[in-house]
Amino acid sequence: MAGRTDRGNRGRTRGPLASVPPAPAPGRMRSSPPPVGRVWDRYLWVGSLRPGAARRASRRIKTVLSMERAIILLSGGIDSAVTLWWAKQQGWDIRPLTFDYFGRPRREHDAVLALTSRIGTGPLRRVDLPFLKEVDDLRKEGFENRRLLDSPEGYIPGRNLIFYGLAGHYAELDAVRYIVGGHNGIDPESFPDASPKFFNFLNSVFHLSLWSYDASPVQILVPLSGKSKDNVIRMGLDMKVPFDVTWSCYWDREVHCGTCVSCRERRDAFAKVGVEDPVAYEA
């Protein structure tokens, strides 16, 4: 009927049709593969291949198409570095993701850049979250829940709920199969949003909330779950993770302070493993 748009073009006006290039003259049909720059065409163009070559090309197509995408949440510390190397060993297409919250040490971001450069990943996605603050920073603004005054050092209300919610958003946009986080077995003792129960719950939430989930499911993986810090370091040493470029300190300094909770945890873990920590400390 006049005045109505079709379902596929609802609310849009029809534009002019694109011009169609003329057909090539007889005898001048292209018989060579497309240019090298068109990667997918290189794999899909099998018209002039002999049967054996065509089968090999078909196998290459399946390999490329079956490569799973994975978002890796990176902080620049030991756990996220080991998680990144673990994910790379799975043969996935790595999509690194990092969040800049209020007061985040600049050295953490430097570490993330160094790690992704060393291992070779896709472009780093950096999300700015200036409203997200640690409880110690929120004291200056004031808050009504006085129980938070007893929260552990470095606690940010709802941090992983926000981080993984955003990761789920990007995962659905980019057809990513896995979201991988570096949370070890000690983290849940201080942070409830780092527990296996929490991540199992989030996986259920993704199932219920992502529109394309049935066709393109998204799953959170926590490969370091249940592991102590020293076991994480052993795992990283086996994979040759460059711990010298990681950053664990809560403070933004030239070298690790050596006295904050994170620094002490790191030093103790390396001591248990019996290897020298490759980073310097002030104290």
Residue 5 has pLDDT above 60, yes or no: no
Q: What number is the average pLDDT over the span 267-278? A: 98
**How many Cα neighbours within 13 Å face the side chain of 238?**
10
**Per-residue confidence (pLDDT) for residue 43, from 0 to 100:** 28
Mean pLDDT estimate for the chain? 82
pLDDT in tens, 34-91: 333 333 233 232 333 344 544 554 454 344 445 899 999 999 999 999 999 999 999 9
Sketch out the chain's domains with CATH numbers.
68-273 (3.40.50.620)
pLDDT in tens, 215-231: 999 999 999 999 999 99
Q: Which residue has the higher pLDDT, 107 or 10?
A: 107
**Per-residue confidence (pLDDT) for residue 66, from 0 to 100:** 54
**Per-residue confidence (pLDDT) for residue 49, from 0 to 100:** 35
pLDDT in tens, 235-258: 999 999 999 999 999 999 999 999
- Find, among 160, 161, 136, the residue nearest to 150 by Cα: 136
Distance, first Cα to last Cα, the chain: 79
Say if CB 162 and CB 131 are below 8 A apart. no
Count H helices, E strands: the chain? 10, 5
